Amino acid sequence: MTDMKSRYLVYLLIITTFALFSCNDNEKKSEMNIIFLHHSTGGVIWQGEKPSLVTRVVRKISPGLAETLGQAKLPILFKEYNQEHNRNYKITQKIFPKASPYGWHNYPFDYYNIWVKNSGNQHYMEEPTLEILTKDYQVIIFKHCFPVGRIQADNDTADIDSDLKSLSNYKLQYNALRDKLLSFPETKFIVWTGAALAKGATTEDEAIRAREFFTWVREEWDMPGDNIHLWDFYELETEGGLYLKDEYSTSSIDSHPNSKFASRVAGMLFNRIIDVIETNGTDTDITGVKK
């Protein structure tokens, strides 16, 4: 009986806390709505460290409450910044695209497919287009997971509508994406350079092609003075090498970043987001280091 009462009290506390925070959040309208589109690697950076058992339990009841209780690092940084600088920036996260019905793919082809080829005011396979997202968010952050680096040799001809991971296809898809992003000049976009692969999870040829592509993104694709900004996650993970550094990876064959690395670079992502919002990205470099 005592155990049942204790469980009831814990449940009541969670619901009450959720209601209180919801009221407080609604007292002041957000000055800037930010959405972070990601899969698992992005979730690690969002969290900043391995979530506690309590966080994992609360998340099953309410993902928003789990964040409000102060467990994920990126929302904590925004909360502290808002309090210290009298701001009200609101950041939220979204798995994009979902595993079903679209499929667990967030590579250049998939952003092109959802946002360019199938653009418009209707969801595509339950995924929001840019026409939909830009109605609610002034800052949109998106990324690729590490399989983006498994780049194959080019075919004889490039094909923008192909999901083959090749340099020539990627470049066509990225150029089309850039044109699409530029068509929403009132929205700021922050694009991650791709998550790197651990040495035991790729080949040297694939790794060389990955470095070539993200160098092209930094040096040719990205243009100054527009509404598209980079955060150079690839450089942070590789530090000039071909692979995700061993000390930053979960293991030699698992390309997810470890908690220590995630906790450090979450602050750099935060710096970059704030800088893009407030000074159009001029006060940090593309890794988020303040100038």
pLDDT tens for residues 169-187?
Answer: 999 999 999 999 999 999 9
Q: What is the pLDDT of residue 71?
A: 73
**Tokens, residue 189:** 């976009």
Block means of pLDDT (10 residues each) for the chain, 291 residues, are 47 47 49 94 86 54 55 92 96 96 97 98 98 98 96 96 98 98 98 96 97 98 97 97 96 92 96 97 96 87
Residue 18, pLDDT score: 46
Of the candidates 163, 131, 159, 161, the one whose C-alpha atom is nearest the C-alpha of residue 144 is 163
- β-pairing, 89-95 vs 32-38, is parallel
Task: Round to whole Å and give the CA distance between 152 and 188.
Answer: 31
In contact, 205 and 213? CB cutoff 8 Å: no
Q: From the CB of residue 116, how many other CB atoms can be counted at a distance below 10 Å? A: 17
pTM: 0.85
Strands (E), the chain: 32-38, 89-95, 139-142, 188-192, 228-231
pLDDT digits (tens, 9 = 90+) for 279-291: 999 999 999 999 8
Cα(68)–Cα(76) distance, integer angstroms: 8
Q: Is the preceding peptide bond at 147 cis, omega within 30 degrees of 0?
A: no
3-state secondary structure of 109: helix
pLDDT confidence of residue 68: 55
CA 145, CA 143: separation in Å to the nearest integer?
7
